[in-house]
A and B are shown apart, each in its own frame.
Chain A
Amino acid sequence: MSNNTRNLIVSLIVLALALGYLGWAESYPAERAEVPRLVAWVTLVLSAIDVFAHTRTAAGRRTAELLSGRAHLEAEGDLRITLEEWLAVAWMGASLAAILLGGFLAGIFVYVAGYMTIHGRLSWRLGLYVAAGTVFSCWLVFDELLRTGLYRGFLFGG
């Protein structure tokens, strides 16, 4: 699959989202839907132009050039989503899951130590030191100084 096709698919997804939003906006009473409807139509039209600009037609290419302000479009990097990218996103999700389950202090400790040792392949001792330092900093700044009252986590009755 070429970069152009991937770009076209992304544009189509965005168009579908705009269309879905327009449908949702229409479901509200007229006075509450006025601005959402306006925003939805503008976004829909812009998304449709974006889809057209990514078609393999001469007019599409010309539209893309015209709206980019450049006579020659820049070459884009590889738009394939790699395993490394999914892993990085998964680690972000893992940080959220750890915090929701164990609260900020336990969750951050597990996440930082886990990321450094499993993903970063650093020594477990360094992982523990950095994790402890991060937890201590968060506790000191937010819990003690700012009196935030950090979330305790689902497992600890938070």
Chain B
Amino acid sequence: MLDALWQGLVLTLTVKGIAMLVLGVIVGLIFGVIPGIGGPNALALCIPLTYGMTPQDAMALAGGIMGSVSFGGSITSILINTPGNAPNAATCFDGYPMARQGRAGAAIGAAGTAAALGGVLGVLLLLAVVPIAKQIVMSFGPPEFFMLSVLGLACIAVSTGGMFLRGLVSGGFGLILSLVGVDIINGGTRFTFGIDALYDGIGVVPALIGLFALAEMIHLSIAGGKVAREDAEAEISGVWDGVVETFRQWPTVLRGSAIGAVVGAIPGVGGTICGFLAYTAAQQVSKDPDSFGKGNILGVIAPESAANAKDGGHLIPTLAFGIPAGAEMVVFLGLMILHGLEPGPRLLIDHEDVIFALIVSLTIACIFATVFGLLITRWLALITLIDVHILVPTVTAISLVGAYALEQKVSDVVISVAFGIVGYFLIKFRYPRVTMILALVLGDLAERSFYQSIKIGDGTIGIFFQRSISLTLFVLIVAAFLLPGLRYLRSRARDAK
């Protein structure tokens, strides 16, 4: 493993690799600061920039974004009580009161340091798990791949917060769209309406850009005004006090990071809950729980360390099994596919160097984002005061060029806009977009492994239940489907009390 880690370090620490990392950190901070745009959209927008890059450089860019977006999000949580990203929501509870008390600098310093430490600890957990995961994935065959695809969809649907059924419907339509184009098994084309541009199927990247970036732009365009609803606090001082205090409160950092990394590794749980769990844990062990919500710095340190540690945790199921743990990881899977890195168990075996390059990038990004972010905090906060009527057309224009640039097909621009409009109505009518895009990503793998499994099983589906791993995955799928029902019963029991 040390060899692979060294190789990852060498691949990342090139002039181009470092440049990509720095670019990723800047983009991540900027997009983190803008509420509602967040990690998945930042990644989706940057995918076109990676077209001409090596997979290692692309991973450096992605690592930079993932490592920094959470800290960017904490800045608006503290300054304007609006989380830049959902995982930063818990930071508002004490970060904003601190800002109102004139301690915004200390809160930002603490958030940045906690995010850096949490990110590094999360990556260490990922490093520890990779060798074990490799052993497990060697025993995977087509039935397991198929079951994994279904499990990934079920887990993401469960995590959509009360939208399980529509999440599955949306996933069904994602699978339908993934079947457009040439039939990979039997040849011939399907569902193309006779349009030549659809013979190669619907590209994941144009669909991603549409569903995430463009749909969000339509949403912002309707909202109007400025991104921030209140003026950002003008004075930011005392940053260093926050940095020092975070190191003093190392048990809180460790606890928050452990919660973030472990909970983040569970597919479908999502990053938001990590921050809230860490916040609650910090409050429960505190000698002065009543001070939480009134500007206690521990209420910033705990959720921020968890919010960044979750990235390491998120990457475990994504890299080892091809099951993305959240929306950001779904987009990240799209980026990997673009660079020939097929998601799923073989990834750790065939592309170990690239994976370690990503791990190295993520580690460096966590630290660099904090140092750089703390230096430019004041200017970053101003981004939230930009009129959306400037933001929307510029981001839309760049997104559309990005959608075109991959294959240089104008049809991809049309697909992006179509997905953008569909994406907006999916948001409005509460059909989760993330299950649709995940199904589009996994559709090819699911269909191929389904056919292979049926062939192995002599035309019967018994093969899915004869192998222990496949059967275990099936049980997990059933458990995922039962989860909303169990939650409902628990919720009713609580009401009855």
Q: A35, B447: Cβ atoms under 8 Å?
A: yes
B176 in contact (CB, < 8 A): yes
Q: A93, B179: Cβ atoms under 8 Å?
A: no
User: Once bound together, how far apart are the Cα atoms of A108 and B191, in whole Å?
Assistant: 32
B450 in contact (CB, < 8 A): yes
- Complex interface residues of chain B between 448 and 497 (CB less than 8 A to chain A): 450-451, 483-488, 491-492, 494-495
Q: B404, A92: Cβ atoms under 8 Å?
A: no
Q: A92, B169: Cβ atoms under 8 Å?
A: no
Q: A69-B487, A69-B491, A146-B52 are in contact. Are A134 and B397 (CB under 8 A)?
A: yes
A42 in contact (CB, < 8 A): yes
Q: B488, A70: Cβ atoms under 8 Å?
A: yes
Segment touching A, from B115-123, B355-363, B414-422: B414-422
Q: B396, A66: Cβ atoms under 8 Å?
A: no
What residues of A have a CB within 8 angstroms of the CB of B389 in the complex?
115-116, 119-122
What residues of A have a CB within 8 angstroms of the CB of B400 in the complex?
95-96, 99, 104, 108
Annotate A64-104 by CB proximity to B: 1 below 8 A, 0 otherwise: 11111111111010010110110011011101100110001
Residue count of chain A within 8 Å CB distance of chain B:
73
Q: A65, B488: Cβ atoms under 8 Å?
A: yes
Q: B218, A92: Cβ atoms under 8 Å?
A: yes
Partner of B495 from A10, A40, A71, A99 at Cβ < 8 Å: A71
Q: How far is the CB of B482 from chain A (nearest CB, A)?
A: 10
Q: How far is the CB of A124 from chain B (nearest CB, A)?
A: 13
B405 in contact (CB, < 8 A): yes
Q: B222, A47: Cβ atoms under 8 Å?
A: no
- Complex interface residues of chain A between 122 and 138 (CB less than 8 A to chain B): 122, 126, 130-131, 134, 137-138
User: Once bound together, how far apart are the Cα atoms of A99 and B217, in whole Å?
Assistant: 17
Which residue of the partner chain B has the closest CB to A78? B428
A56 in contact (CB, < 8 A): no
Q: A39, B413: Cβ atoms under 8 Å?
A: no
Q: A43, B169: Cβ atoms under 8 Å?
A: yes
Annotate A43-75 by CB proximity to B: 1 below 8 A, 0 otherwise: 100110110010000000000111111111110
User: Once bound together, how far apart are the Cα atoms of A99 and B404, in whole Å?
Assistant: 11
Partner of A151 from B163, B410, B451, B491 at Cβ < 8 Å: B410
Give the bracket for the number of chain B residues in contact with chain A: 35 or more
Partner of A85 from B49, B173, B222, B410 at Cβ < 8 Å: B222
User: Once bound together, how far apart are the Cα atoms of A40 and B172, in whole Å?
Assistant: 8
What residues of B have a CB within 8 angstroms of the CB of A69 in the complex?
162, 164, 483-488, 491
Segment touching A, from B182-190, B196-204, B330-338: B182-190
Q: B51, A146: Cβ atoms under 8 Å?
A: yes
Q: How far is the CB of A142 from chain B (nearest CB, A)?
A: 5
What residues of B have a CB within 8 angstroms of the CB of A130 in the complex?
390, 393-394
A16 in contact (CB, < 8 A): no
What residues of A have a CB within 8 angstroms of the CB of B424 in the complex?
85, 88-89
B430 in contact (CB, < 8 A): yes
A148 in contact (CB, < 8 A): yes
Partner of A142 from B169, B401, B413, B447 at Cβ < 8 Å: B401
Q: A150, B401: Cβ atoms under 8 Å?
A: yes
B166 in contact (CB, < 8 A): yes
Q: A24-B191, A92-B421 are in contact. Are A43 and B173 (CB under 8 A)?
A: yes
Q: A68-B164, A130-B394, A134-B398 are in contact. Are A122 and B222 (CB under 8 A)?
A: no
Q: B179, A122: Cβ atoms under 8 Å?
A: no
Q: A67, B430: Cβ atoms under 8 Å?
A: no
User: Once bound together, how far apart are the Cα atoms of A82 and B483, in whole Å?
Assistant: 36
Q: How far is the CB of A30 from chain B (nearest CB, A)?
A: 10
What residues of B have a CB within 8 angstroms of the CB of A73 in the complex?
162
B168 in contact (CB, < 8 A): yes
B387 in contact (CB, < 8 A): yes
What residues of A have a CB within 8 angstroms of the CB of B172 in the complex?
18, 39, 42-43, 46-47
Q: A71, B410: Cβ atoms under 8 Å?
A: no
Q: A46-B172, A149-B408, A151-B410 are in contact. Are A32 and B186 (CB under 8 A)?
A: yes
Q: A39-B175, A46-B165, A68-B488 are in contact. Are A112 and B397 (CB under 8 A)?
A: yes
Annotate B153-175 by CB proximity to A: 1 below 8 A, 0 otherwise: 00000000011111011001101
Q: A39, B176: Cβ atoms under 8 Å?
A: yes
User: Once bound together, how far apart are the Cα atoms of A67 and B169, in whole Å?
Assistant: 12
Q: A70, B417: Cβ atoms under 8 Å?
A: no
In the A-B complex, list the 5 residue pairs whose CB atoms are closest, starting with the nearest: A120-B389, A43-B172, A69-B487, A69-B484, A71-B491
Q: Besides A10-B429, A65-B488, 9 other CB < 8 A contacts? A: A21-B176, A47-B169, A67-B164, A69-B488, A85-B428, A116-B393, A119-B389, A134-B397, A146-B52
Residues of chain A touching chain B, judged by Cβ–Cβ distance below 8 Å, are 7, 10, 14, 17-18, 21, 24, 28, 31-32, 34-36, 39-40, 42-43, 46-47, 49-50, 53, 64-74, 76, 79, 81-82, 84-85, 88-89, 91-93, 95-96, 99-100, 104, 108, 111-112, 115-116, 119-122, 126, 130-131, 134, 137-138, 141-142, 146-151, 158
Query: Can you list 22 A-B pairs with a CB-CB distance of less than 8 A?
Result: A31-B185, A32-B183, A35-B451, A36-B179, A39-B172, A40-B176, A50-B165, A67-B164, A68-B488, A69-B483, A69-B484, A88-B221, A88-B424, A89-B421, A95-B417, A96-B414, A96-B417, A99-B410, A104-B401, A116-B389, A120-B390, A138-B397
